[in-house]
Amino acid sequence: MGASGSKARGLWPFASAAGASSPEAAAAEQALVRPRGRAVPPFVFTRRGSMFYDEDGDLAHEFYEETIVTKNGQKRAKLRRVHKNLIPQGIVKLDPPRIHVDFPVILYEV
């Protein structure tokens, strides 16, 4: 999850003006969001899914298959994790939207 922020892609939409010395620049630096060319909303509406589909169309975080192991003449069942033929879930819509991790705001609840 560390690479999901906008800094990882070289985009910092909520940055403040560095070295602001005038009162107007100081007031703008304290503003919650300053539009820079295009307005960037503070919300995230989609995310990359963390689950996978298997060949049967089942959706899960991990898949296991049961294998039979014969040891000392005894049959024993073991679970083996499946890594092949899994399709990532893709983009998932968030309901409700979340606040962006790089949005500079302090959440406070009494």
Domain boundaries, the chain: 43-99
CA proximity to 14, closest of 47, 46, 36: 36
Longest dimension (CA), the chain: 84
Quick check: pTM over 0.75? no
Q: Using an 8 Å Cβ cutoff, are 69 and 78 in contact?
A: yes
pLDDT tens track for 48-89: 999 999 999 999 999 999 999 998 989 999 999 999 999 999
Element housing 76 (H / E)? strand 74-81
Per-residue model confidence (pLDDT) at position 18: 52
Task: Please answer whether residues 34 and 28 qualify as being in contact, where contact means their C-beta atoms are separated by less than 8 angstroms.
Answer: yes
Q: How many residues does the chain have?
A: 110
Rounded average pLDDT over 5-16: 53
* 13-47 tens-digit pLDDT: 555 545 555 655 555 555 555 555 667 788 999 99
- The backbone torsions φ and ψ at residue 17, rounded to the nearest 5 degrees and listed phi first, read -75, 125
